[in-house]
Amino acid sequence: MRNPARWAATLGLTAAAVCGPLTGASHATPPTAPATLYAPSALVFTVAHGETAATVTPERAVTLSCAPTPSGTHPNAVGACVELRGAEGDFDALETRTGVWCTREYDPVVIRVSGVWQGEYVSYERTFANECVKNSYGTSVFAF
C-alpha cells in the first residue's frame, strides 16, 4: 500500500457513490405495518334511568378496550373483558348471577353500548326493570 490516506479517501468516496451520503437520516420508506395484530375492540357504555336511550340523558359513561390487554375507564376492565370473551361479544348471552334477589320495583335503567368488538361494529341497548336487575347480569360488564 503506497498511501493509506489516499486508499481510505477512495474507499469513502466509493461508499458514498454506491450507498449515498451518510447523514444519519434514512431516505428509505419503511414498509407500512399494521398498528396491531389484534382486531380493534373499543366500547363505550352509558347508563341512564328511563325507558330508552333515545329519550334519556346518560348519567354515567365508561370505556372498555380488551385487546391487547384490558383497559379503559371501566371499573373492572379485566373481569368485563373475560366475560365478554366468554360470551363471544354477545351481550344477550351474559348470564345472571345466581342467588340475587331483586324487588319488583319498576325504575327502568337503560344500558347503551356502542363501538367495535373484535373488528365488528356494535350497537346494543337494553332496558332493565331496576338497578338491581341490571347489576345481576354478568358480574362485571354492566357494573359501572
Domains in the chain, number: 1
CATH of the domain at 113: 3.30.350.10
Per-residue pLDDT reduced to its tens digit, 24-71 = 444 555 545 555 566 788 999 999 999 988 899 999 999 999 988 999
Domain membership flag for residue 119: yes
In a domain, 66, yes or no: yes
Q: How confident is the model at residue 81 (pLDDT cuts 50, 70, 90)?
A: very high
Q: What is the pTM of this model?
A: 0.70
Decide if 87 is inside a domain: yes
Structural domain containing residue 83: 42-97+105-135
| Inside any domain, residue 68 | yes
What is the rounded CA–CA span in Å between residue 141 and residue 144? 8
